[in-house]
Amino acid sequence: MGYLLLKAAISGVLIALASEVARRNAGLGALIVSLPLVSVLSMIWLWRDTHDPARMADHVGATLWYIVPSIPMFLLIPMLLRAGYGFWLSLGLGLALTILLYLLMLWVAARWGIRI
């Protein structure tokens, strides 16, 4: 249980740090959150827990496939905000787009024989 709390605390501190930096400097905050910190931390935690190269390779490979359909969200949300739409609506539409693209990606991957 202590290990789980340590993982949560480290991960939470990084998210809090990124949001605090972003309040002061949007560009630097964006740089921090664009770093694959969650991915790297999950790889570290998974490796520490399993030491299984095959599982790690599957995890990292699947992560790549899930990153691709999330990119349009980062185009849509600022476009909507700049057009005067509210934050929650913009975020909701961005997330809805991402979910739809995830489903499309899973369908395409299955059709191409890609196992995720």
Helices 87-111 & 53-67, crossing angle to 10 degrees? 120
| pLDDT of 3 higher than 90 | no
Which SS3 state, helix, strand or coil, does residue 36 take?
coil
Beta carbons of 22 and 33 less than 8 angstroms apart: yes
Note the pLDDT of residue 9.
Answer: 87
Q: What is the pLDDT of residues 5-54, one digit of tens each?
A: 988 888 888 888 888 998 999 888 888 877 788 888 889 999 999 999 99
Q: What is the pLDDT of residues 48-61, one digit of tens each?
A: 999 999 999 999 99
Q: Which of 24-38, 41-55, 62-76, 87-101 is the least confident region? A: 24-38
The mean pLDDT of the chain is 91
Q: pLDDT confidence of 2, banded at 50, 70, 90?
A: confident
